[in-house]
């Protein structure tokens, strides 16, 4: 009941004219960014941070903007997946598997509308989940001391690596690089300059905006240069634009299951929308009867990943708000944006800043409704945007990126640093190191070290404080599970594969 009261207050915040307008702009921008091939939610959210600052928006409004953009991207990503077979972002990869075949069969309109409805349901299920679980987790998380927090961060990092499928080691390296980057600058405990090599520009550490825009924007510009997609045209959407009752009934259980799966995958730190859509797709495929047409234009194969990735996008707000541990690369960016406002996310946020937290949760509901209302009639307009050529798009992205970085400190040093980070990011990407892990590591690095040092100060250097409470035991157990489980799965797969190829 208490929760409903707070949620009511949240709606009070979210429905102010400014916040409604912000949510509307955010969902629109997000959809456009999401549907442009190559740009994903991280880029969209990162590019908007400097703008949100420049506009002087209050923290809850800019958070609503960023969340609306995030949800919008998850919606928009599917359009280019379905019509072009080019996923606008990683979490839309699974959508293309069945969405594009449907479009080729002339069912583009049905595919787009059913995926929009699926995204809506996913978002709705997950937002209800956030409303129920976030306050519970926040209450529980108040019991966390520095040692518990440290274990939690270790869990977040191992989760990331354990979930990363066939490249856990690369994810581990990427997140460790992120952790190390967080060490650059003055050590706040001792005042020692670390890894600055005499450069004044690095004394303050690497600025969050510089790192994000370097890793995601600059490296993306380089990747786009490589691609030869330029000139490829989208399939025309023809025929019926809206799904019918029979089709809706056909996917209803898929949507409900995928929404729940997506939400829980979203909560797990580091797993995020990409993993959620893959897991939902795979499990639906396994559950379907033998005569399924998965991969060949099955509506369930389209609904499952779309529902799950929207659900995961909302779900990833739970660890961000309650523990200050981002659930995905995009929430890591949002977390960074909050710290720019001097707001420390964590369990106490629910007490110190209820209007911020509940305003955000309420705006998730509103953004979802806006998206579905906007998406179904505006599909034809959005598909036109796919025709923007790269030569018009990329210079714009590059210039806005440069303005965003220059705006932080007004020094060109940051611009050069961003380019260097971008080139390194591009190389890491070429060798398949996930950049969102670097970002997550960077966000966690500072708090992780602070908590470790605080814990060891309390115990006077005795390491046993790290496993002195039930929460830490639970945490370490989860860490071990996250390491052992993927190894076991890999071993099982090899066992199964062996008889097939002797």
Partner 1 sequence: MIYQRLFLTALLIVYAVLAYAATTYEAPFSYEPVGPRAFPLLLLALLAVSTVYLLIRPGQMAEENAETPLTGHVLGRLVLCVLALSLFAFFFEKLGFVVAAFLFAIAMCRLYNGRWVTSVITGAVMSVAFYVLFDRLLDVPLPLGVLSGLGV
Binding site for partner 1 (CB under 8 A): 50-51, 54-56, 166-167, 169-170, 172-173, 176-177, 179-180, 183, 187, 189-192, 194-195, 197, 218, 221-222, 224-228, 230, 389-392, 394-396, 398-400, 402-403, 406-407, 410, 412, 415-416, 419, 422-423, 426-427, 430-432, 449, 452-453, 456-457, 460-461
CB of 403 to partner 1, least distance (A): 5
CB of 77 to partner 1, least distance (A): 16
Q: Are 68 and 18 in contact (CB under 8 A)?
A: no
Cα of 427 vs its chain's centroid, Å: 22
CB of 248 to partner 1, least distance (A): 34
- CA torsion through residues 458, 138, 312, 18, sign: negative
3-state SS assignment for residue 132: helix
- CA torsion through residues 70, 71, 75, 78, sign: positive
3-state helix, strand and coil shares in percent for the chain, rounded to the nearest 5:
75, 0, 20
- Per-residue DSSP letter, 483: H
Decide whether 150 or 264 has the Cβ nearer to partner 1. Answer: 150
3-state SS assignment for residue 165: coil
| Residue 441, token pair as written in the block | 């590591």
The answer for 85, left when phi > 0, alpha when psi is -120 to 50, beta otherwise, is: left
Decide whether 68 or 179 has the Cβ nearer to partner 1. Answer: 179
Decide whether 181 or 332 has the Cβ nearer to partner 1. Answer: 181
List beta partners, residue 193.
Answer: 186
Q: How far apart are CA 297 and CA 357, in angstroms?
A: 40
List beta partners, residue 194.
Answer: 185
CB of 220 to partner 1, least distance (A): 12
CB of 210 to partner 1, least distance (A): 12
Decide whether 192 or 387 has the Cβ nearer to partner 1. Answer: 192
CB of 69 to partner 1, least distance (A): 17
CB of 94 to partner 1, least distance (A): 14
Rg (CA), the chain: 22
The Cα-based distances of 459 to 329, 448, 464, 466, 471 in angstroms read: 33, 17, 8, 9, 17
Decide whether 1 or 391 has the Cβ nearer to partner 1. Answer: 391
Q: Are 383 and 234 in contact (CB under 8 A)?
A: yes
Decide whether 230 or 467 has the Cβ nearer to partner 1. Answer: 230
What are residue 349's phi and psi, to 5 degrees? -60, -35
Decide whether 104 or 167 has the Cβ nearer to partner 1. Answer: 167
Decide whether 195 or 491 has the Cβ nearer to partner 1. Answer: 195
Decide whether 202 or 357 has the Cβ nearer to partner 1. Answer: 202
| Residue 175, token pair as written in the block | 């997140």
CB of 95 to partner 1, least distance (A): 17
CB of 31 to partner 1, least distance (A): 21
CB of 172 to partner 1, least distance (A): 5
Q: Are 88 and 76 in contact (CB under 8 A)?
A: yes
Residue given tokens 């959407």 in the structure block: 237
Decide whether 226 or 291 has the Cβ nearer to partner 1. Answer: 226
Decide whether 175 or 331 has the Cβ nearer to partner 1. Answer: 175
**Closest C-alpha among 79, 68, 19, 24 to residue 45:** 68
Residues 6+ apart with CB under 8 A from 435: 174, 215, 216, 219, 329, 425, 428, 429
Q: How far apart are CA 452 and CA 461, in angstroms?
A: 10
CB of 209 to partner 1, least distance (A): 12
């Amino acid at each position: 009941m208490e929760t409903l009261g707070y949620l009511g207050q949240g709606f009070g915040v979210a429905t102010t004219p400014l916040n409604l307008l912000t949510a509307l702009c955010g969902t629109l921008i997000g959809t456009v960014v999401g549907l442009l091939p190559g740009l994903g939610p991280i880029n969209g959210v990162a590019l908007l941070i400097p703008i949100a600052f420049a506009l002087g928006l209050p923290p809850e409004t800019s958070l609503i903007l960023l969340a609306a953009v995030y949800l919008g991207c998850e919606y928009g990503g599917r359009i280019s997946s379905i019509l072009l077979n080019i996923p606008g972002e990683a979490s839309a990869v699974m959508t293309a598997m069945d969405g594009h075949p449907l479009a080729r069969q002339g069912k583009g309109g049905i595919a787009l509308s059913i995926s929009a409805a699926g995204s809506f349901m996913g978002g709705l299920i997950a937002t209800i989940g956030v409303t129920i679980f976030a306050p519970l987790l926040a209450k529980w998380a108040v019991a966390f001391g520095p040692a518990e927090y440290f274990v939690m961060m270790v869990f977040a990092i191992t989760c990331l690596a354990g979930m990363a499928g066939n490249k856990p080691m690369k994810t581990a390296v990427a997140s460790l690089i992120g952790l190390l980057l967080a060490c650059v600058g003055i050590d706040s405990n001792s005042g020692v300059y670390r890894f600055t090599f005499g450069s004044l520009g690095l004394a303050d550490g690497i600025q969050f905006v510089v790192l994000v825009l370097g890793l995601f924007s600059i490296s993306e510009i380089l990747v786009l240069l490589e691609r030869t997609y330029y000139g490829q045209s989208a399939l025309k959407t023809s025929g019926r634009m809206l799904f019918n009752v029979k089709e809706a009934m056909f996917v209803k259980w898929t949507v409900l299951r995928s929404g729940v799966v997506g939400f829980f995958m979203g909560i797990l730190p580091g797993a995020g929308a990409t993993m959620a859509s893959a897991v939902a797709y795979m499990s639906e495929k396994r559950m379907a009867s033998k005569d399924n047409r998965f991969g060949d234009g099955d509506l369930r194969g389209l609904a499952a990943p779309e529902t799950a990735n929207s659900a995961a996008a909302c779900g990833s707000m739970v660890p961000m708000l309650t523990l200050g541990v981002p659930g995905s690369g995009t929430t890591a960016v949002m977390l960074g944006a909050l710290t720019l406002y001097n707001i420390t996310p964590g369990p106490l946020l629910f007490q110190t800043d209820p209007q911020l937290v509940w305003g955000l949760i309420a705006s998730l509901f509103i953004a979802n409704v806006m998206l579905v209302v906007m998406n179904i009639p505006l599909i034809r307009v959005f598909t036109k945007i796919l025709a923007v050529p790269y030569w018009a798009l990329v210079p714009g992205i590059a210039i806005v990126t440069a303005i965003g970085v220059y705006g932080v400190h007004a020094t060109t040093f940051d611009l050069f640093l961003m380019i260097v980070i971008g080139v390194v990011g591009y190389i890491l990407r070429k060798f398949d190191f996930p950049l969102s892990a670097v970002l997550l590591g960077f966000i966690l690095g500072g708090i992780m070290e602070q908590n470790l040092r605080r814990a060891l100060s309390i115990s006077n250097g005795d390491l046993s404080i790290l496993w002195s409470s039930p929460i830490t035991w639970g945490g370490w157990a989860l860490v071990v599970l996250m390491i052992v489980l993927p190894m076991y799965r890999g071993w099982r797969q090899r066992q199964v594969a062996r008889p097939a190829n002797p």
